[in-house]
Amino acid sequence: MYLGRLPRALFAFAVLVGLAFIYVPLGVVIVNSFNASKVFSWPPTQFTTHWWSAALTNDGVRAALLTSVRAGLGATLIAVVLGTALSFALVRYEFFGRTSVNFLVVLPISLPGIVTGIALNTSFTTLLQPLGISLGLFTVVLGHATFCIVVVFNNVSARLRRTGTSLDEASADLGASLWQTFRYVTLPQLRSSIVAGALLAFALSFDEIVVTTFTAGPGVQTLPQWIFNNLFRPNQGPIVNAVAALLLLVFVAPVWLAERLSGADRTASAGRM
Amino acid sequence: MSTDVALRPSPTGGGRSHALSRYLATHARARLAALLSLPLAWVLVLYIGSLALMIVAAFWSVDSFTGNVVHSFTWANFQTLVTQPVYRDVALRSLGIAIAVTVIDGLLALPIAIYAAKITPSPRVRYAIVILTTMPLWAGYLVKAYAWRIMLDTNGVLDWVLSPLGLHGPGLGLTATVLALSYLWLPYMIMPVYAALDRMPNSLVDASADLGAGPLRTMRSVVLPIILPGIVAGSIFTFSLSLGDYIMVKIVGGTTQMFANIVYDNIGVAGNLPFAAAAATFPILVVIGYLTAVRRTGALENL
């Protein structure tokens, strides 16, 4: 787009302001995790790594981390299987009601989390509890999988749209069975998008708090729940801050990897994640 | 885009799995059914079924003596929601917050997306901006909420920055909630707007300039109409996610209440599931109304 020098500079300035808006608060969390003061005070006057070691050895944090990883793995596994199948069905086939199915599928991420949470809570407590199945980690996995499916679906669909069907047809023409075509032709083209979808699904599950709150049974505490429950306790402030800073750094790796794996799809089509 | 191609039977015949494979290879409908049945059943039974049950539960009540849910039809929950002014105030406030967040995110996202997609000549800068603006999406909801608490709390970072100027930050409250929610959902606005701009051919802008339009006129008459589906797609997230939020407002909102707090408090503290379910129909109606209203702009394909 042709623009004069001044408008270009103004746009560049807006980008810098936007990036500062995004990164300054995150930087503050990292800096403040080394703040030696027991109660929050800014600016920090002394620095320590004590809160980091306290956070890493905290039993509550460790137990919550384990619960989060379990829930994330369970939800991701379900999401990969169902999300991939769904994207094949919706991208590669024309059928009556396809747009409606598409609409239904994106509902779990379009409706506020509290709606998903309370809907699942209603059906779990009304239908499962009389059967003797109470809320627990299992119900958290079901809840998380419901919206994780959408993430895998978005990633794999974008790849399917981009790759087209000519290689699959060539494989079939050369006599490969359906399974062989899938295993040796389709899957290798999709693999990185499935991995990216899985990583993002795991990240999304790992971060989820609203749906977790409504589907977790007593005694099940994920890491976000631990943070939320300890956020307002005065003595826990510095440890919560250190956990938050740790999460910031831990999140960078899988998401950066997912971005690398699916970058081409993303620029080829809009995709939320 | 059907892949209903005629396939030769596999040369390595025999075996039940091969029979199944051959059957599926020649029957596209069976293939579709195999792919679609499980995920669709999951979404329909678990999600849509739960939503339906929740709407039914909205018409139940709670026995005030035993605290048990009474499974008989009543309009009482909705009557309370409509007639009590406190609920109307909270509903309007939540709508106002959601609209404010959407407008702020739109205004912040547009220049960033325009610069990345259309102005910078360097693909590296473009890639860097896209990555840098989308990465924080995964930084963790509570981490970001916590960050804004540190930023805005009394004697927090903003107060410290502004104090040499004799000013102070907004503190915790309604402004803080709008600010923090705008921060939280900004990447959801940048991504679809950027994608829409990226798809728009540059020749359209050049043509507009050749025909004598200035940058503002080109923006208004050419660029904005084309990227509107992207903006609307982003607004679905910023609006819907803000409307349903109750955690951010607890962390940075001081005593401010949003509509989702009513839902949450009735499930948790009061143990009144039917009333919570009735309250939850408000965001559902608003969001579904919004989705149907914007459907014709093609925004849903831009999600």
- The residue of B143, B190, B231, B300 whose CB has the most chain A CBs within 10 angstroms, and thus the best one to mutate to test that interface, is B143
- Count of A-B CB contacts under 8 Å: 309
Q: Does B122 touch chain A (CB under 8 A)?
A: no
- Which pLDDT value is given to residue A76? 96
Query: Do the Cβ atoms of A18 and B143 come within 8 Å?
Result: no
Does any domain span residue A25? no
Q: What are phi and psi of B144, to 5 degrees?
A: -70, -40
CA distance A271 to chain B (A): 6
Find the closest chain A residue to B291 by CA distance: A110
CB contact under 8 A, B280 and A200: no
CA proximity to A72, closest of A197, A256, A201: A201
Residues 220-249 of A with CB under 8 A from B: 224, 227-228, 231, 240-241, 244-245, 247-248
Nearest of A251, A18, A271 to residue A151 by alpha carbon: A271
Report CA-CA distances (Å) from B143 to A120, B10, B169: 26, 55, 20
Minimum-distance CB partner of A178 among B25, B119, B147:
B25
Query: Into how many domains does chain A fold?
Result: 1
Residue A159 lies in a domain: yes
Any domain includes A2: no
Q: What pLDDT sits at residue B9?
A: 47
d(CA A75, CA A71): 6
How far, in Å, are A16, A232, B184 from residue A21 at the CA level? 8, 25, 11
Strand, coil or helix: what is A272?
coil
> What pLDDT score does A158 carry?
87
A197 reaches B (C-beta below 8 A):
no
The answer to whether position A29 is within a domain reads: no
Domain containing A249 equals 58-268
CA–CA separation, A8 and A4 (whole Å)? 6
For the record, the structure tokens of A263 come out as: 């970058």
Interface pTM (ipTM) of the complex?
A: 0.83
- What angle in degrees, to the nearest 10, is found between the helix axes of A5-32 and B174-199? 130
Residue B12 sits at the chain A interface (C-beta within 8 Å): yes
B141 touches chain A (CB under 8 A): yes
A211 contacts in B (CB within 8 Å)? Answer: none
A146 to B46: CB separation less than 8 angstroms, yes or no: yes
pLDDT at B3: 47
- A267–B contact, CB cutoff 8 A: yes
In tens digits, chain B (303 residues) has pLDDT values of 444 444 444 444 445 667 777 788 778 888 888 888 899 999 898 999 999 999 999 999 888 777 788 888 889 899 988 899 999 999 999 999 999 999 999 999 999 999 999 888 888 898 889 888 888 877 889 989 999 998 998 888 888 888 888 888 888 899 999 999 999 999 989 989 998 998 899 889 889 889 988 888 988 999 999 999 899 989 988 998 899 899 999 999 988 899 999 888 888 766 788 999 999 999 889 988 888 888 777 666 666
pLDDT of residue B300: 67
Query: Distance from B125 to chain A by nearest Cα, in Å?
Result: 11
Q: Would you say residue A39 lies in a domain?
A: no
Which of B42, B50, B251, B261 has the most A C-beta neighbours within 10 Å, making it the best mutation to test the interface with A?
B50
Average the pLDDT over A176-180 and give the result.
Answer: 86
How much is the mean pLDDT over chain A? Answer: 86
CB contact under 8 A, A240 and B146: yes
A85 within domain boundaries:
yes
Place of tokens 């209603």: A122
Q: Is residue A122 part of a domain?
A: yes
Residue A101 has what pLDDT? 87
The residue assigned the tokens 């005593």 is B255
B298–A contact, CB cutoff 8 A: no
A140 touches chain B (CB under 8 A): no
A:51-110 residues touching chain B, CB 8 A cutoff? 78, 81-83, 85-86, 88-89, 91-95, 101-108, 110
A130 interfacial to chain B (CB closer than 8 Å)? no
Tell me which chain A residues have a C-beta less than 8 angstroms from the C-beta of B53: 119, 122-123, 126-127
Q: Does B50 touch chain A (CB under 8 A)?
A: yes
Give the whole-number percent of chain A exceeding pLDDT 70: 95
Asked if A253 is an interface residue toward chain B (Cβ–Cβ < 8 A), one would say: no
Kindly list the structural domains of chain B, giving each domain's residue range(s) and its CATH number in brackets, ordered by start.
1-41 (no CATH), 84-302 (1.10.3720.10)
The answer, for A257 touching chain B at a CB cutoff of 8 Å, is no
| Best to test chain A binding among B37, B62, B115 (most A CBs inside 10 Å) | B115
Q: Give the tens place of pLDDT for each residue, A35-77.
A: 888 878 778 888 888 888 888 888 999 999 999 999 999 999 9
State the CATH number of the domain containing residue A127: 1.10.3720.10
Task: Note the pLDDT of residue B301.
Answer: 65
Measuring CA to CA, how many Å separate B49 from each of A162, B52, B60, B75, B147?
Answer: 34, 5, 17, 21, 37
Give domain status of residue A6, yes or no: no
Q: Are B151 and A23 in contact (CB < 8 Å)?
A: no
Measured between CA atoms, how close is A250 to chain B, in angstroms? Answer: 9
Report the residue from A103, A111, A247 with minimal CB separation from B300.
Answer: A103
